Amino acid sequence: MFIRSIVIFNMVAFFAGRGVMHLAYAEQLKKTKDVSDVKQKESQTTESRANEFTESVTGIQFVKVPGGCFSMGDTFGDGEKDEMPVHKVCVTDFAISKNNVTVSQYRLFVEATSYRTDAEKGGGCYIFNDRDWNKQTAINWQNPSFKQTDQHPVTCVSWNDAQAFTRWLNKLGTNKYRLPTEAEWEYAARSGGKKERFAGFSDQSQLYKYANFCDSNCEGKWKTVGQNDGYSGTSPVGNYLPNGLGLHDMTGNVWQWSSDRYNESFYSKSPKNNPQGTQSGYDRVVRGGSWLNGPNDVRAAGRNSCSQDYRSYDIGFRIVSPVE
Domain coordinates in residue numbering, the chain: 1-50, 53-322
- Mean pLDDT to the nearest integer, 30-53: 50
Cβ pair 134, 110 in contact under 8 A? no
Rounded Cα gap, residues 291 and 223, in angstroms: 10
Asked whether the predicted pLDDT for residue 1 surpasses 70, the reply is: no
pLDDT single digits (tens) 295-311: 999 999 999 999 999 99
CA 161 to chain centre: 21
Phi, psi of 291 (to 5 degrees): -60, -15
Instruction: Tell me the sheet residues that pair with 157.
Output: none
pLDDT (0 to 100) of residue 8: 37
pLDDT more than 90, % of the chain: 80
Closest C-alpha to 271, from 128, 72, 78: 72
Class of domain 53-322: alpha beta
Q: How far apart are the first and last CA of the chain?
A: 84
Integer CA distances (angstroms), 66 to 260, 285, 299, in order: 21, 23, 22
Cβ pair 222, 82 in contact under 8 A? no
Rounded Cα gap, residues 151 and 65, in angstroms: 24
pLDDT (0 to 100) of residue 295: 97
3-state secondary structure of 164: helix
Rounded Cα gap, residues 122 and 137, in angstroms: 8
Pure H helices in the chain: 2-50, 103-113, 118-121, 159-172, 182-189, 207-210
pLDDT-based confidence at 49, cuts 50/70/90? low
pLDDT (0 to 100) of residue 17: 43
pLDDT (0 to 100) of residue 48: 52
pLDDT-based confidence at 110, cuts 50/70/90? very high
